[in-house]
Amino acid sequence: MELWMSLTLLGIGLLALWLYMLSGSKPSRPTRPRPAQPRSAQPRPAQARPAQARPGPARLQASQWERKVLTQMRGDQARFERTLAAKRNKHPRASREELLEIIYEEYIRDNR
């Protein structure tokens, strides 16, 4: 009888300790401070960049993008042409440089 009582008290003590630790634990993700204003109400910069322009070095030419994409595809020209045709169907107004950049970025993202 004493063994059961000891085990019960031990179980209750462990449960209380577990609940105490849960109540004082930090959230798994740190919370971000919320901005004082909604994003739509914040003032925009005077000179906004176009959607396609990127900061940093000058944009690559089509031949440079083609070389980078072919390197990722291990020189498979047929695969390159099929992928380019598929992206052209998906983005009909994009230039060749933009299509090649999209393809390259997708390959980099997918092969991480």
Tally of CA atoms within 13 A in the half-sphere of 41 that contains its CB: 4
CB burial class (10 A; 0-12, 13-18, 19+) of residue 62?
middle
CB 112 within 8 A of CB 72: no
C-alpha angle 44-47-50 in degrees, rounded to nearest 5: 100
**Structure confidence at residue 90 (pLDDT):** 92
Tell me the pLDDT of the chain (112 aa) as tens digits.
688 888 888 889 888 887 777 776 665 666 666 666 655 555 566 555 555 555 545 567 878 888 888 888 888 899 989 999 999 999 999 888 889 889 889 888 887 7
